Amino acid sequence: MKQSINIIISGGGTGGHIYPAIAIANEIKLRYPEANILFVGAKDKMEMEKVPQAGYQIEGLWISGIQRKLTLKNLMFPFKLLSSLWKAHRIIRKFKPDVAIGTGGFASGPTLMVANKKGIPTLIQEQNSYPGITNKLLGKKTQKICVAYDNLERFFPEDKIIKTGNPVRQDLLFIHTKIEEGKEFFELDASKKTILVLGGSLGARKINQLVEANLEFFKKQNVQLIWQCGKLYFEEYKKYDELENVQVHQFLNRMDLAYAAADFIVSRAGASSVSELCIVGKPTIFIPSPNVAEDHQTKNAKSIADKHGAIVVKENEIETFPVVLETLLKDKGKQESLSENINELALPNATSNIVNEIEKLIS
């Protein structure tokens, strides 16, 4: 296959769409150092900052989603869509991609629509167990659909689906060898169990409130906390960093070491987090966010819990959390079975498998 290939990757809005897109780009660059890769994102979203940080060029479209109620933003939507289709058309005409890849999010809609219309091969990567509206629409015309969960033929043509898993950080593949390093990095007491609390990069209000309300409970259980409270909440919760056996972080730069150091994990259930936690293989309690499109976090978490790989505590039942955690802390057998079962669902070669499918489309 020719080395100087042109590839457009479009996806964003949240880390769950951006990081898989960057992982795919990195794998393509490994195989084809001469490849030209261009990202297309939504103008005011986090991809406009994260993609250049990862070393790639990005073009922004004036696009956003439809709100559930009648707002000024909704009235603007047809204009934004037309503007984005026109700009995507210009980008594609100039860049001449050999293939266009969508990882979900608003910008991937117009970009892949135009690519499909121009006869350019397209591939979408669906991270969730319940697809968003953009990918559902694109699924009709795209050539290949890489998924991470079973039973997605309810939404997509069955002959296009390839189960690859979600791209994850490659540094997670060997975290079992980093346990000592992780404990040293976070200056943990090796005689105590460690609970890692994750609310996503921005943070999760309900999870932070839960931790704050149960600090005395954690102390009684004689555990230590690595509490990632997120960018939006750091100012509010950083005061608890002074407590013994509690460390509060806005963001965790060494996720691999945080996972390695943890004995138990409490987390949201975004698609990327779920895929990472399958590889990490630690006893996990999911507290899915109910405030996301199609309630897909609950569906992601349930798909793991149905295979006895995790425990799910819903936000509207969050007061049961201390009992659930205390029971788990005392039950060694349950800890081991959760670890084994979640680890069996891991798909560690996802990025490589997705790029294999992209190669087939180009050649």
User: Concatenated DSSP letters for 9-21?
Assistant: EE--SSHHHHHHH
The answer to the question of whether 254 is labelled as a binding residue is no
Instruction: Please indicate, yes or no, if residue 257 is contained in any of the structural domains.
Output: yes
Q: How far apart are CA 312 and CA 301, in angstroms?
A: 7
The answer to the question of whether 201 is labelled as a binding residue is yes
**Residues 134, 179 within the same domain:** no
Instruction: Please indicate, yes or no, if residue 208 is contained in any of the structural domains.
Output: yes
**Residues 242, 283 within the same domain:** yes
Instruction: Please indicate, yes or no, if residue 196 is contained in any of the structural domains.
Output: yes
**Residues 189, 226 within the same domain:** yes
Pairing of strands 193-198, 161-163: unpaired
**Residues 329, 239 within the same domain:** yes
Contacts for 172-176: CB closer than 8 Å, 24+ residues apart? 172/255, 172/256, 172/259, 172/276, 172/279, 172/280, 173/279, 173/348, 175/256, 175/259, 175/260, 175/279, 175/280, 176/260
**Residues 153, 214 within the same domain:** no
Strands annotated E in the chain: 6-10, 36-42, 57-61, 99-102, 122-126, 144-147, 161-163, 193-198, 223-228, 246-249, 264-267, 284-286, 311-312
Instruction: Please indicate, yes or no, if residue 285 is contained in any of the structural domains.
Output: yes
CATH number of the CATH domain containing 134: 3.40.50.2000
Q: How far apart are CA 134 and CA 157, in angstroms?
A: 15
Cα dist. 304→101, 104, 269, 281, 301 in Å?
27, 22, 10, 12, 5
Domain count across the chain:
2
Instruction: Please indicate, yes or no, if residue 156 is contained in any of the structural domains.
Output: yes
**Residues 41, 90 within the same domain:** yes
What one-character-per-residue DSSP string does 164-198 give?
Answer: ------GGGTTGGG-HHHHHHHTT--TTSEEEEEE
**Residues 336, 353 within the same domain:** no
Sheet with 246-249, strands from edge to edge, namely: 246-249, 223-228, 193-198, 264-267, 284-286, 311-312
**Residues 339, 190 within the same domain:** yes
- pLDDT given for residue 68 in this prediction: 55
Output the average pLDDT for the chain: 92
Q: Which domain holds residue 325?
A: 171-344
- pLDDT given for residue 3 in this prediction: 64
Using alpha carbons, select from 45, 64, 66, 47 the residue that is nearest to residue 9: 47
The answer to the question of whether 14 is labelled as a binding residue is yes
Instruction: Please indicate, yes or no, if residue 39 is contained in any of the structural domains.
Output: yes
286-345 pLDDT per residue, tens: 999 988 777 889 999 999 999 999 999 999 999 999 999 999 999 999 999 999 999 999
**Residues 136, 187 within the same domain:** no
Residue 37 pairs in a beta bridge with: 7
The answer to the question of whether 10 is labelled as a binding residue is no
Q: Evaluate if residue 1 carries a pLDDT over 60.
A: no
- pLDDT given for residue 66 in this prediction: 59
The answer to the question of whether 320 is labelled as a binding residue is no
**Residues 121, 185 within the same domain:** no
Locate tokens 């921005």: which residue?
Answer: 202
Using alpha carbons, select from 220, 219, 237, 239 the residue that is nearest to residue 228: 237
194-246 pLDDT per residue, tens: 999 998 766 789 999 999 999 999 999 999 999 999 989 999 999 999 999 99
Token pair for 286 = 């999911």
The answer to the question of whether 53 is labelled as a binding residue is no
Report pTM: 0.86
| Contact (CB, 8 A) for 161 and 143 | no
125-144 pLDDT per residue, tens: 999 988 888 899 999 999 99
Q: How far apart are CA 192 and CA 177, in angstroms?
A: 19
**Residues 328, 292 within the same domain:** yes
Q: How far apart are CA 25 and CA 101, in angstroms?
A: 10
**Residues 307, 230 within the same domain:** yes
Instruction: Please indicate, yes or no, if residue 1 is contained in any of the structural domains.
Output: no
Percent of the chain clearing pLDDT 70 (strictly above): 96
Instruction: Please indicate, yes or no, if residue 183 is contained in any of the structural domains.
Output: yes
Cβ neighbours for 222, distance < 8 A, ≥ 6 positions apart: 192, 193
The answer to the question of whether 55 is labelled as a binding residue is no
More confidently predicted of 63 and 243: 243
